[in-house]
């Protein structure tokens, strides 16, 4: 877990730097200088492109994580692995692009009444999807090489800086909204190019096939795995994005703008989760290769308790500060308060179930995960269809929470049934109790009646009350060690002689 802790620490730092810039973009600049419909457009283009790219990938993202350890060989250019991955993905992209063009009229008919602006910018999705496809291929490739920090910087920091520049140009009236969309999409394309250049610089951009026969020997099992991974990947991205697509079609692009803005706030919860998962997922594959079930179980439980502590703290911290957050945005966005509550609970459960997805899709039982992916797609679409008309954006949030709970409980059960391991310990219960008690105490404290003063006091109080028991009762050895390291650094800063 030492590699995970060290690498995930730096990725978390980068991610939260990106979150800070993202907050500037999504909570200040976008809501205050774009109409809600335009905010909805800028965000839903991303949602569509993510689904598009995931389908086009044809399972290559999971193939990289699962099979790269068997191909890794610097001297032989990793046996041509990257060439075959890119070839498969580009074939998938061409096929999906053809379907995307052919079904333009049907899509236009569905969205033209309530979200006509989306149809006007329909074809902007194609280059955006290509950018996501390329980025995710190289991101997973670098993850398998255990080189994750730069790709995290690109996706979490660089793209948000580019977004800030693009919206700033629009605010300064340097170009129209239509040109803003062009610049906005171009930012993602530039980031995809950047990660390719980085891969070249570190000496791992092997785009040509090799004389190795390893891929030919393994191609049957690789293609089988990729086929069964497609639905798993699609289900994951669908549950995160199909709600926005259905909101746009059923109640309008303006409501989509509100919903996706709140979704971004809840996305803060997943920053440490993504950082940990980027390192942990390749390690899962190595444990399978070595048949080290004990090591896998230890990793499973550690990832879960760490995600629960960090995610639970962030969830409560954001909830007690919602009024402060809304004070920076137009009043119409307050409609999303309970969207945050329901989505936040769902994403927190997504975090605490830990590595179940990575364990399943990199195991010999990966085919069965496809069946539950089909169930997830069905549940996501059905619950949104039933709940959005009567409950609006709150209905979409409830649907997401419900489907996440059902999906991950099934995965946890499967991992336990087949491999005899589960992610939970008694410490998980103590952390949940700590979250509830400290959150309640912090929210009840009102000293000055002034929004920002109360918010600051509540946040400090929550931090102290929450992390004291986490630290002194050693609810997580990794977090305990991280706090000790931070204390040691502070001692050296404020007492240099004593630190020596």
- The answer on pLDDT for 211 being more than 60 is no
Distance in angstroms (rounded) separating the CA atoms of residues 257 and 107: 19
pLDDT of residue 372: 75
Q: What are phi and psi of 205, to 5 degrees?
A: -90, 85
- The answer on pLDDT for 9 being more than 70 is no
Number of residues that this document lists for the chain: 500
pLDDT of residue 355: 81
345-374 average pLDDT score: 82
When mean pLDDT is compared across 9-13, 95-99, 198-202, 227-231, the lowest value belongs to 9-13
When mean pLDDT is compared across 138-142, 299-303, 353-357, 399-403, the lowest value belongs to 353-357
Query: For residues 138 and 214, which has the higher predicted lDDT (pLDDT)?
Result: 138
Encoded tokens for 386:
């039933």
Q: Work out the mean pLDDT of the chain and round it to a whole number.
A: 87
339-348 average pLDDT score: 95
pLDDT of residue 56: 94
Distance in angstroms (rounded) separating the CA atoms of residues 296 and 286: 9
**To 10 degrees, what angle do helices 104-111 and 214-250 make?**
30
pLDDT of residue 328: 92
Distance in angstroms (rounded) separating the CA atoms of residues 285 and 401: 29
CB atoms within 10 A of CB 198: 18
**Closest C-alpha to 252, from 163, 332, 166:** 332
When mean pLDDT is compared across 58-67, 218-227, 260-269, the lowest value belongs to 218-227
pLDDT digits (tens, 9 = 90+) for 27-50: 999 999 999 999 999 999 999 999
256-285 average pLDDT score: 85
442-469 average pLDDT score: 87
Distance in angstroms (rounded) separating the CA atoms of residues 95 and 104: 15
pLDDT of residue 226: 76
- The answer on pLDDT for 271 being more than 90 is no
CB 111 within 8 A of CB 47: no
- pLDDT category of residue 388 using cuts at 50, 70 and 90: very high
CB 399 within 8 A of CB 387: yes
- pLDDT category of residue 210 using cuts at 50, 70 and 90: low
- The answer on pLDDT for 72 being more than 70 is no
pLDDT of residue 354: 67
Query: For residues 204 and 386, which has the higher predicted lDDT (pLDDT)?
Result: 386
Q: DSSP H helical segments within 291-425, as ranges?
A: 293-320, 322-326, 337-352, 356-361, 366-391, 393-419
**Closest C-alpha to 62, from 246, 235, 270:** 235
322-347 average pLDDT score: 94
Residues 6+ away with beta carbon under 8 Å from 136 = 53, 57, 61
pLDDT of residue 364: 82
Share of the chain above pLDDT 90, in %: 55
pLDDT digits (tens, 9 = 90+) for 216-257: 677 777 777 777 777 777 777 877 789 999 999 999 999 999
252-280 average pLDDT score: 87
When mean pLDDT is compared across 10-19, 321-330, 428-437, the lowest value belongs to 10-19
pLDDT of residue 235: 75
- pLDDT category of residue 109 using cuts at 50, 70 and 90: very high
Q: Which residue has the tokens 């800070």?
A: 20
pLDDT digits (tens, 9 = 90+) for 476-496: 998 999 899 888 888 887 776
- pLDDT category of residue 498 using cuts at 50, 70 and 90: low
pLDDT digits (tens, 9 = 90+) for 413-430: 989 999 999 999 999 999
Q: DSSP H helical segments within 147-213, as ranges?
A: 149-153, 159-171, 177-201
Q: What is the pTM of this model?
A: 0.84
């Amino acid at each position: 877990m030492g590699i995970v802790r060290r690498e995930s620490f730096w990725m978390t730092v980068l991610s939260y730097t990106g979150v800070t810039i993202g907050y500037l973009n999504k909570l200040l600049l976008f809501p205050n200088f774009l109409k809600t419909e335009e905010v909805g457009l800028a965000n839903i283009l991303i949602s569509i492109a993510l689904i598009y790219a995931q389908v086009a990938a044809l399972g290559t993202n999971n193939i990289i994580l699962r099979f790269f350890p068997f191909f890794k060989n610097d001297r032989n250019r990793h046996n041509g692995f990257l060439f075959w991955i890119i070839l498969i993905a580009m074939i998938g992209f061409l096929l999906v692009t053809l379907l995307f063009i052919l079904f333009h009229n049907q899509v236009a008919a569905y969205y033209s009444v309530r979200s006509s602006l989306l149809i006007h910018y329909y074809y902007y999705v194609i280059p955006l999807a290509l950018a996501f496809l390329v980025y995710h291929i190289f991101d997973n490739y670098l993850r398998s090489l255990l080189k994750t920090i730069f790709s995290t910087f690109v996706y979490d920091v660089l793209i948000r800086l580019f977004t800030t520049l693009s919206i700033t140009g629009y605010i300064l009236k340097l170009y129209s909204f239509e040109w803003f969309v062009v610049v906005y999409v171009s930012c993602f394309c530039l980031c995809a190019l950047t990660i390719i250049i980085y891969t070249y610089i570190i000496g791992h951009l092997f785009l040509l096939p090799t004389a190795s026969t390893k891929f030919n020997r393994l191609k049957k099992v690789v293609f089988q795995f990729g086929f069964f991974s497609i639905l798993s990947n699609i289900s994951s991205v669908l549950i995160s994005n199909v709600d926005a697509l259905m909101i746009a079609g059923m109640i309008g692009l303006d409501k989509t703008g509100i919903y996706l803005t709140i979704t971004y706030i809840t996305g803060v919860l997943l920053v440490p989760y993504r950082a940990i998962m980027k390192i942990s997922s390749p390690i899962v594959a190595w444990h399978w290769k070595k048949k080290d079930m004990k090591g896998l179980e230890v990793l499973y439980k550690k990832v879960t308790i760490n995600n629960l502590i960090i995610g639970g703290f962030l969830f409560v911290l954001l909830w007690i500060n919602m009024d402060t957050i809304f004070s920076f945005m137009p009043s119409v966005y307050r409609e999303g308060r309970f969207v945050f509550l329901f989505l936040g609970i769902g994403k927190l459960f997504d975090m605490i179930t830990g590595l179940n997805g990575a364990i399943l899709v990199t195991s010999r039982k990966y085919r069965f995960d496809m069946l539950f992916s089909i169930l997830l797609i069905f549940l996501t679409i059905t619950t949104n269809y039933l709940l959005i008309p009567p409950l609006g954006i709150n209905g979409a949030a409830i649907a997401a929470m419900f489907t996440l709970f059902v999906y991950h409980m099934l995965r946890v059960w499967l991992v336990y049934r087949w491999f005899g391991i589960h992610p939970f310990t008694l410490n998980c219960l103590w952390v949940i109790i700590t979250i509830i008690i400290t959150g309640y105490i912090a929210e009840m404290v009102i000293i000055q009646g002034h929004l920002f003063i109360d918010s600051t006091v509540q946040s400090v109080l929550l931090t102290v009350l929450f992390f004291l028991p986490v630290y002194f009762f050693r609810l997580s050895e990794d977090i305990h060690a991280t706090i000790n390291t931070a204390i040691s650094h502070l001692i050296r800063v404020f007492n240099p002689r004593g630190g020596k």
